[in-house]
Chains A and B, each alone.
Chain A
Amino acid sequence: MQKLHSRQQQWMPVLFLAPAVILFVVYVIFPILQSIWLSFYEWDGIGEKTFVGFSNYIELFDDYQFWVALKNNLYWMVFFMLAPPIGLGIALFLNQKVMGIRLVKSMFFFPFVISQVVVGLVFSWFYDPSFGLFNKALGLFGMEPVAVLSDENWVTFGIIVAGLWPQIAYCMILYLTGLNNLSPDQIEAARLDGAHGWKMLRHVILPQLKPATFIAIVVTVIGALRSFDLVATMTSGGPFGTSSVLAYFMYEQSIFNYRAGYGAAIATVLFLIMDIYIAYFLWRMLKSEKA
């Protein structure tokens, strides 16, 4: 009996894991390898594949559009970093116990729950040069209307602002949870020592919010690198590709221009950039696992 059990114990995890692992390998692990492999081929997506070595990459690093997309991803990452501090600010603002505050908190979270396609539509209206609220607001200050989404200089920032809306909501909820779990003793002790306001926030509160900050930064960086939905719905990368990001550029090349090999090379570059963050996250996660 004992023997049967230990044998069962040996095999059961394999059975429990098998369905998930098989699907995960087929749909995630294997495709990653395939994409990397494909990036060394010239392929229209249907016909024969021709091995071309590194020429997709050489072309890529020479492609003006690639640098535009990469630069835009960089803007996304830099400006998306506003989400954690603004989210913290809103969380601090809302962390009170007045009537109806729970409803307010959940409604502040709305932008994160709704689809990015809807967010994109909402902001397209907001920016519309002829009737958008944004230009009406500019008009109030006596400024000329700006067609944000068709202006090469403004378009990416316009989309990033739209992206910040749900991202700030996400960070806010992370911080609200964090604030809920603060140690009251430490705060009381610090108060007795005369700490308050900014000093309290910096030296007592923020250190305790570290786990929330870590997650907020990770999801924000990943969100910035993954940005696709908003670019696709708001501008399709336009005008003239000036608002494209790597994710959209890849999609465009593979689906509209039938350049699967080239698309795979773009995807591989994006994947490599993201790996830095994935590796960092894993390292942190597994370290805390051991502790």
Chain B
Amino acid sequence: MFPTPIEKRSLPFNLSYRVAVWISLFLWLLPLLAVLLTSARSTADINAGNYWGIPSEWMLFENYTMVFTETPMLRYLLNSILITVPAVIGAVALSTLAGYALAKFKFRGNVALFAAFIAGNFVPFQILMIPVRDLTIGMGLYDTATGLILFHVAFQTGFCTLFMRNFIVGLPDELIEAARVEGVSEWQIFWHVVLPLVRPALAALSVLIFTFIWNDYFWALVLVQSDEVRPITAGISALKGQWMASWQLIAAGSIVAALPPVILFFAMQRHFIAGLTLGATKG
């Protein structure tokens, strides 16, 4: 282990390390803490300029109730769920199929196709913006959840296919070969042999792209314009325009927007990190 385990050092060093860890965490998350506190402040506090101190009056419940009743926040939150969940399912499903084909079948163009998926994953969004917007308008899907979902599925498929392919490559060929010899059809092999084995990868991938899609802001701006469809990221910035001085509401809204990915991250931490650090441990 590197650095040297702290247990091997002197007691004072040990104790000060333990304290330092928490202090640095506090400083690291200070900006976030301020938002959390601000979401519990009263208007009087805001007007008096108390943005960083302890609220003189705790309005946590009132502020969050107000965000959900006076602003379209609940609608935004619902929209984000309605967009993100189908998009995650779609992208993971398509890429599991594609990843299996790239990992376990030999055919011409296999590597080229794989490379295209990887490369597509890194392109700047702006090179896609005008044509994708036109296409979405042309299909009558502008300002609909479907339009946004279709794009997210298509774009995330690049990363997801890379991910699934690399996972499936590691599965033993013998299992698939054995099933083939038994005369099991290719689809049955996929469904009954491959799919049960990739379950951990599916979990890792799902939590990861859930956050990516949930946090998307650019496409929410480009493909959507009404409150009825707008996801929470674009919603927050719309709120900011309308509720300029009501910082406590913006803060509460920000916390609401940040919570789902944070909860998901905490609940599925191991999967999340496994997904994110794919490739970070092997050359």
Q: Mark B139-176, 1 if CB is under 8 A from A, else 0.
A: 00000000000110111011001000000000000000
Assuming A106-B266, A125-B51, is B261 touching A31 (CB within 8 A)?
Answer: no
Residues of A99-154 whose CB lies within 8 A of B: 99-101, 104, 106-111, 113-118, 121-123, 125-126, 128, 130-133, 136
Q: Chain A residues near B234: list those with CB within 8 A.
A: 117
Contacting residue for B157 out of A23, A34, A187, CB 8 A: A23
Q: Chain A residues near B236: list those with CB within 8 A.
A: 115, 117-118, 121
Q: Chain A residues near B117: list those with CB within 8 A.
A: 24
Q: Chain A residues near B49: list those with CB within 8 A.
A: 130-131
Size of the chain B interface, CB-CB below 8 angstroms: 98
Residue of B nearest to A124 (CB): B240
Assuming A184-B1, A246-B126, A270-B126, is B233 touching A121 (CB within 8 A)?
Answer: no
Residue of A nearest to B7 (CB): A97
In Å, the complex CA distance between A104 and B257 comes to: 22
Q: Chain B residues near A226: list those with CB within 8 A.
A: 124-125
User: Across the interface, do B101 and A177 meet the contact criterion of CB distance under 8 Å?
Assistant: no
User: Across the interface, do B281 and A211 meet the contact criterion of CB distance under 8 Å?
Assistant: yes
Contacting residue for A31 out of B38, B113, B127, CB 8 A: B127
B11 interfacial by beta-carbon distance below 8 Å: no
B42 interfacial by beta-carbon distance below 8 Å: no
B2 interfacial by beta-carbon distance below 8 Å: yes
In Å, the complex CA distance between A92 and B129 comes to: 40
User: Across the interface, do B186 and A28 meet the contact criterion of CB distance under 8 Å?
Assistant: no
In Å, the complex CA distance between A106 and B277 comes to: 14
Size of the chain A interface, CB-CB below 8 angstroms: 113
Q: Chain A residues near B237: list those with CB within 8 A.
A: 117, 232-233
CB distance from B30 to the nearest CB of A (A): 7
Q: Name the residue in B52, B127, B237, B273 with the highest tally of chain A Cβ atoms < 10 Å from its Cβ.
A: B127
User: Across the interface, do A250 and B129 meet the contact criterion of CB distance under 8 Å?
Assistant: yes
User: Across the interface, do B2 and A201 meet the contact criterion of CB distance under 8 Å?
Assistant: yes
Q: Which of A52-60, A74-82, A261-269 contacts B (4 or more CB under 8 A)?
A: A261-269
Q: Mark B266-283, 1 if CB is under 8 A from A, else 0.
A: 100100010011011111
User: Across the interface, do B277 and A173 meet the contact criterion of CB distance under 8 Å?
Assistant: yes
B18 interfacial by beta-carbon distance below 8 Å: yes
B64 interfacial by beta-carbon distance below 8 Å: no
Residues of B188-244 whose CB lies within 8 A of A: 190, 211, 214-215, 217-218, 221-222, 232-234, 236-237, 240
Assuming A114-B215, A125-B34, A268-B127, is B280 touching A174 (CB within 8 A)?
Answer: yes
User: Across the interface, do B130 and A5 meet the contact criterion of CB distance under 8 Å?
Assistant: no
Residue of B nearest to A197 (CB): B3
Q: Name the residue in A10, A27, A29, A229 with the highest tally of chain B Cβ atoms < 10 Å from its Cβ.
A: A27
User: Across the interface, do A96 and B120 meet the contact criterion of CB distance under 8 Å?
Assistant: no
24 A–B contacts from the bound complex (CB under 8 Å): A5-B180, A9-B186, A16-B105, A19-B94, A27-B135, A28-B154, A31-B128, A95-B3, A108-B28, A110-B29, A115-B215, A115-B258, A122-B254, A130-B49, A131-B49, A131-B52, A181-B281, A182-B2, A215-B277, A251-B126, A267-B127, A271-B126, A286-B111, A288-B282
Residues of B that sit less than 8 Å from A by CB: 1-7, 17-18, 21-22, 24-25, 28-32, 34-35, 38, 49, 51-52, 94-95, 97-98, 100-102, 105, 107, 111, 113, 115-120, 122-132, 135, 150-151, 153-155, 157-158, 161, 180, 183, 185-187, 190, 211, 214-215, 217-218, 221-222, 232-234, 236-237, 240, 247, 250, 254, 257-258, 261-262, 265-266, 269, 273, 276-277, 279-283
